Amino acid sequence: MKSLCLKLFGGFHACDAAEQEITIAGTKSALLLAYLALKPGKAYSREQLIGLFWSDRGDSQARGSLRQTLWLLGKALKKTEPYPLVVEGNTIALDPDAVEIDTSRFVGLIAKGAPDDLSSAMELYRGELLQGVRVRDPTFEDCLRSERSRFEELAINACTTLLDHQLMVEKNDEAAVTAKKLLEIDPLQEVAHRTLMRQYATKGQVGLAIKQYETCREILQRELRINPGPETERLFDRIRLGHSAKEASVASPDETVREHHGDMGNRRTTQHLDSLPSIATLPFRTPTADPEQVILADGLRMDIQYALVKIASMVVVGTSTTNTYRNKDVMPQQAAAEMGVRYLLEGFVQKSGSRARITASLIDGLSGQVMWTEQYNRVLDDTLEVQDQISEKIVTALDVKLVSGEHARVWRKTLKNQKAREHFYRGIHEYMKRQREANLVARENFEQVALLAPESYLGPTMVAFTHWWDAFHRWTTSPARSIERAEQWAERALAMEDCDGQAHTVMAHIHLLRREHDSALELAQQAVALRPSCMDANPHLGNILFYCGRPGDAVDRMRQAMRLTPIHGSWFDVVLAAACKEIGQWDEATTAAKQALRNEPDDLDARLVLIEVCRATGDEDLARELVNEISALWPEFSLKEWSKMQPYRDPAVLKRIVSTLGTAGLAP
C-alpha cells in the first residue's frame, strides 16, 4: 500500500494516501525527501547526504543539521502507514513499496515506449524537476542541475517520438498538442514549429501559420543568432505563396529524414574544422548492465577515443557529448546530425568468463549505411593484449578510411600490467561520471595504477586530473591543497616519456592561476598540439588566450572547442562571451552569456559579462536586473574579492572591468 505520494515535476508536492497535503517544514527536509525519491530503495550513507547537502559546513555542524532534518521529516511523516523512511544504522533510504513518485512513473512509461505510454508520461511532466526550489549548497545544486537536464532530455525525446508517431498515423490534432508541449520544454525545436505551421495551414488559418513561423525565427535569432533551417523556410514559402493547404501540410522527403533534430546539428561550426573528416565514438553497448561488462566496453571505447584525438587531420567529438547517447535508441542519421559529424563508430561488447566477443562498426552518418564492420572472438589472457589488438585494428581501419595513412598511437599500450589496467578502466568509468564521490573512487583507482605501473604516465596524469576537478568544482574543503596535489602529480607525469598532453592541460591551468602567463600559454599550446581534438585541451587554451590578452584568438579557439564538444559545460559559453565582449561583438557576447545561463542559471560570471555588455549597449534596465540578481544570489559578493581571482595579464583590463561593474551598482 502506498502511504505517500510525491510529485517532483513542476515543484514539490507531498500528500498521503487520502490525498491530503503533507506539510514538510524546511527546504532541506523537502529536498532530502525528494533526493531519496529519485532512486527509491537506494540506501545512502549519512556521509553521502552530508556531502551533498551540507558540503560547506564542518563535520559536527553538518551531522547536527542532518539529524535536525531527519527529525523534521519524521514529524511530518509520522502518521503515514507504512512509514516510508528506512533508517538503518548509518544508512537512509525511501521504501519503494510505500511511496508513489511521479518521476518513477514517468521513467517507467517512457521505457515501455508505446504511444499511449508516452502520452501518459508527458501528462506527468508538468514542468522541470523541483521547479522553483533552490538551495545554496553548490554540491547539491550541481546534482540538481544534472537531474533536471536528464529528465528534460527524457521529456524531449519522448515528445519527439510521440510526435513522429502521431504525424505518421495522421493524428494531426493530437500532434499539435504534443508540439505545443514540446515547445514549452524547448522553444528551439523547429520540428514542433513546423508541425503547428502545417496544422494551422491545413485548417485554413494561414495568419496563425505565418505567425508561428515568425515566432520560430524570432526565437532562433534571439537565442542562437541563426535563421530557421531550410525545411522550415521551404514550408513557410509554400504557405506564404498560397499553395494548397494539403500541399503545405506535407513534409518533403528530406524533411522526414531529419525531422527530429537534424536542423539542430550544425549550429556551432568553424570553417577549417568542417573541412576535416569528423567522427563520434558512441558508448559501446553490452547485453546487460553488469558492471564488469560495462567497464570493459567503456575501456575499449576510451582506448579508441584517446587514440583518435591525437590525429591532427580529424575532428573527434568529445565524450561529454557522446556519453549522452548511452542507452538511447537513436537513428545514425539523427545522432550524426545532432553532433555535426560525418561518421559514427558503434560497438557491442559481450564478456563471458575469460572470453569476449566484440563487434565494431563504422557508419556513414549521412546515409546510415555501414561502411565496415568486424567481429572479434577472443580469449582474455592475463596480459589482456587482445584489447590492444582490437583497438589498434579499429584505429588503423579508421585511419585508412578517413585520414589516408596518418598513423595514430594507441595510448593503452603503456599499461602492460593487468591489475593496473583493470584499475585504470574502473577509474575511467568513475571519472566520467563527473561527480564528487565518483571522483574520489576514480582517484583511488588511478593511484593504484601509479603504484602498479610506475613507468606509465597514465596513473599520475589521471590522479592530477581528479585533484584538479576537486578544486575546480569546489568538491574539497581546501581547493589550494587540491591544486598543490594536482601540480605534484602532473609534474610527475610530465617527467615521463610519451606524456600525451593531458598533464600539460592541468599544469597550464595552474600556471595561469599563478599569473605565469607565458608558461601557461606554452603548455596549453603543447597540449593541443599533442591532442588536437581533445575536449579539455582546446577550451582551456581558449581560456588562457583570453586572459593573456588575445580575445580574438580566444573566440576562434572556443568556437573550435564547441565544434568538438557540442554538449559542453556552461563555462565554454562564458569564455566565448567574455572574449566576444572584449572585441566588441556585443550580439555574440549576449547570445553566449544567455546560453550559459540557460545551462547553469546560477552562473555568476555569465551575469558579469552581460552587465558589461548592457553598459556598453545602453540596456540599463537589464543591467540593473542582473545586479539585483547577483545581490540576491550572492549577498557577500564584492568586486575587490572577485578581482583577486581574475588572472589577467594586463592589470589595466581588469581595472576597466571592475570600474564598469562598479558603476553598474555592484558592491566594491
For residue 406, give the 3-state DSSP assignment.
Answer: coil
pLDDT confidence of residue 183: 94
Helix (H) or strand (E) holding 162: helix 138-168
Residue with cell 559514427: 344
Compute CA distances 624 → 374, 466, 545, whole Å: 60, 39, 30
The length of the chain, given as a count of residues: 668
SS in 3 state form for 244-311? CHHHHCCCCHHHHHCCCCHHHCCCCCCHHHHCCCEEEECCCECCCCCHHHHHHHHHHHHHHHHHHCCC
**Beta strands across the sheet bearing 99-101:** 13-16, 4-7, 99-101
Residue 98: Cβ within 10 Å count: 20
Long-range contacts of 545-548 (CB under 8 A, 24+ apart): 545/521, 545/579, 546/575, 546/578, 546/579, 546/582, 547/512, 547/517, 547/646, 547/647, 547/648, 547/649, 548/517, 548/520, 548/521, 548/649
* CB neighbour class for 404 (10 Å; exposed up to 12, middle 13-18, buried from 19): exposed
pLDDT confidence of residue 269: 34
The CATH architecture that domain 4-124 belongs to is Orthogonal Bundle (1.10)
The CATH architecture that domain 569-668 belongs to is Alpha Horseshoe (1.25)
Residue 238: Cβ within 10 Å count: 20
pLDDT confidence of residue 394: 67
Report the alpha-carbon distance of residue 126 to residue 101 in Å, rounded: 13
pLDDT confidence of residue 55: 78
Residue with cell 527536509: 29
Residue 59: Cβ within 10 Å count: 11
Q: What number does CATH give the domain 149-264? A: 1.25.40.10
Packing angle of the helix pair 586-599, 206-224 (nearest 10 deg): 100
Identical fold for domains 149-264 and 280-414, yes or no, is: no
What's the whole-model pTM score? 0.51
Q: In the structure grid, which three cell numbers stand for residue 31, read together?
A: 529536498
Report the alpha-carbon distance of residue 300 to residue 351 in Å, rounded: 12
Could you state, in chain order, the average pLDDT of each consecutive group of 10 residues for the chain (668 residues)? 90 90 88 92 90 82 88 88 89 92 91 86 93 78 82 85 81 92 91 91 89 92 79 84 49 35 33 65 88 82 74 73 83 85 87 82 83 77 55 64 49 65 83 87 94 89 92 86 93 80 90 93 87 83 94 90 81 95 93 91 94 94 94 93 94 95 94
The CATH architecture that domain 280-414 belongs to is 3-Layer(aba) Sandwich (3.40)
Residue 102 contacts residue 11 (beta carbons within 8 Å): no
pLDDT confidence of residue 569: 81
User: What is the residue extent of each domain of the chain?
Assistant: 4-124, 149-264, 280-414, 569-668
Helix (H) or strand (E) holding 94: strand 91-94
Compute CA distances 200 → 209, 229, 261, whole Å: 5, 19, 22
Report the alpha-carbon distance of residue 159 to residue 178 in Å, rounded: 7
pLDDT confidence of residue 389: 64
**What is the DSSP track for 493-532?**
HHTSTT--SHHHHHHHHHHHHTT-HHHHHHHHHHHHHH-T
